Structure 1
Amino acid sequence: MPGPIQSLERAAAILRLLAGGERRLGLSDVASSLGLAKGTAHGILRTLQQEGFVEQDPVTGKYQLGAELLRLGNSYLDVHELRARALVWTDDLARSSGEAAYLGVLHQQGVLIVHHVFRPDDSRQVLDVGAMQPLHSTALGKVLAAYDPVAHREAAESEWSALTARTLTDAASFEEELALVRARGWAADLEETWDGVASVAAPVHDRRRMPVGAVGVTGAVERVCDGDGVRAGLVAAVRDCARAVSRDLGAGRF
């Protein structure tokens, strides 16, 4: 098994050092505290500064933690708060719909499943928490791309593979689909990701009314759909769940 990478260990040590004590330290302070040569410490600090993890005071030249660490920390907290707030509501959604319920967030040009409630029957199912789904074909992904500008950009920059014969793979059709999602407030995946499988999803907003995730259900197309498309009752249940989670996050009524 390969050992730890020394440069990463040193960078982590510098971040921990800046997180405690005086919070603002000069190059000499950092180097002496960690037993590093000044040149080594300076190189690591400059790299951390370029990535936004460290900031340097232009007057004193001292270093402190950067805003990027705060953003990453808030992202971690937001995901866990989102999941915690959604637990009861997604359980209710799975029970009332009879289908598997999912909660997803944007991650690395895809949808990261952060919570999954099994379909309430006796069938064998696989837990999908931690799985990645595409932005361009899934209901969760379309919702994120429709409401979150960052997700929209990530979707546009990702490779759109044809997963089934129904998958949208051209930009114009995808933009039309996103406009429809925004107009009606929910997205559908009708055998666009997996043959025989359909999904419906709606956006979750936080107290700033910013999109922070998507919630939805997935099941066999013959159960999710009827002659008019996605079952109206299923759409209503998913949207009610998304609104309830959003209210718990402080979004208010909408």
Structure 2
Amino acid sequence: MAKNIQSLERAAAMLRLLAGGERRLGLSDIASSLDLAKGTAHGILRTLQAEGFVEQDAASGRYQLGAELLRLGNSYLDVHELRARALVWTDDLARSSGESVHLGVLHQHGVLIVHHVFRPDDSRQVLEVGAMQPLHSTALGKVLSAFDPVAHTEALEVDRKAFTPRTVTDVQEFESLLDHTRARGWAADVEETWEGVAAVAAPIHDRRRMPVGAIAITGAVERVCNDGELRSDLVAAVRDCARAVSRDLGAGRF
């Protein structure tokens, strides 16, 4: 059996580390996090920097992901059938709801955001394509866990961290929540992952009626909820959008 190439494994770990943080990381931070000698870490960083996968801030000397990764990621996303089928529908959903729309798929024990439509106003927003969301606390993650057996298993295996006082971490309570999600066909996240933020998500199915992703509307609690409950018009809108994308994928009417 062929052995893995250690330098590539270390480079991949380094990219994941940089992708997981909300700030730039220094050489010492990277080396200690990956249990590498500074010289080894610096050599890998220089190589990744030369290829455009990592950038170094001139003022602080800290590192962040480079533009070449975004180019490669967009190349992948351009051929991703789910994203291609959802583009028009998610644009319409953001425009009609007035809120941000996310398209997510199961990936490495979490939800990978493969498409993000900004809230249609002039506010400053950050593109979240490529970001990971937890399975147990987000609307996208819960709806995938409810309808996808693989996501369900992974949600039970991971550490269900309490992000806010409203996060459900108990196994039995989480299973009950998933049962409720299956029964009504959509999932909610009202300040369970981020304070002040609420979301509603619905599953997308393919021609075999298998869950292949989910769509969510996300926004401030005061806009997305009425008296602590998600607005019924937004629930209906995200479900209609998910059904439309599912039909485009061959799922038929349901």
**Paired amino acid for 2:143:** V
Q: CA deviation at 1:78?
A: 11
Within 5 Å, give how 1:201-240 maps onto structure 2. 201-227=201-227, 229-240=229-240
Q: What's the C-alpha RMSD, in Å, of the aligned pairs?
A: 2.0
1:182-235 CA deviation, whole Å, 9 max, x = no partner?
000000000000000000000000000000000011000011100261000000
1:106-163 CA deviation, whole Å, 9 max, x = no partner?
0000000000000000000000000000000000000000000000001000011110
Q: What fraction of aligned residue pairs are identical, expressed as a percent?
A: 79
Secondary structure at 1:188 match in 2 = strand
Q: Which runs of 5+ in 2 are unaligned?
A: 9-75
**Paired amino acid for 1:85:** R
**Paired amino acid for 2:178:** L
**Paired amino acid for 2:167:** T
8 Å CA contact 2:114–2:130 kept in 1: the answer is yes
Q: Which runs of 5+ in 1 are unaligned?
A: 9-75
Counterpart in 1 of 2:16?
A: none
Within 5 Å, give how 1:60-209 maps onto structure 2. 80-209=80-209
Query: Cα–Cα, structure 1 residues 151 and 79, in superposed 2: closer, same or farther, change >3 Å?
Result: farther
- Distance in 2 of aligned mates of 1:77 and 1:233: 30
Q: TM-score, normalising length from structure 1?
A: 0.70
Worse overlay, 88-97 or 227-236: 227-236
Counterpart in 2 of 1:67?
A: none
Secondary structure at 1:207 match in 2 = coil
**Paired amino acid for 1:199:** A
Counterpart in 2 of 1:30?
A: none
**Paired amino acid for 2:82:** L
- Distance in 2 of aligned mates of 1:161 and 1:147: 21
Query: Cα–Cα, structure 1 residues 90 and 83, in superposed 2: closer, same or farther, change >3 Å?
Result: same
Segments of 4+ moved more than 3 angstroms: 4-8, 76-79
- Distance in 1 of aligned mates of 2:154 and 2:243: 25
8 Å CA contact 2:186–2:203 kept in 1: the answer is yes
Query: Cα–Cα, structure 1 residues 164 and 228, in superposed 2: closer, same or farther, change >3 Å?
Result: closer
Secondary structure at 2:80 match in 1 = helix
Counterpart in 1 of 2:71?
A: none
1:45-86 CA deviation, whole Å, 9 max, x = no partner?
xxxxxxxxxxxxxxxxxxxxxxxxxxxxxxx89980000000
- Distance in 2 of aligned mates of 1:234 and 1:91: 15
Secondary structure at 1:163 match in 2 = coil
Counterpart in 1 of 2:241?
A: 241
Secondary structure at 1:217 match in 2 = strand
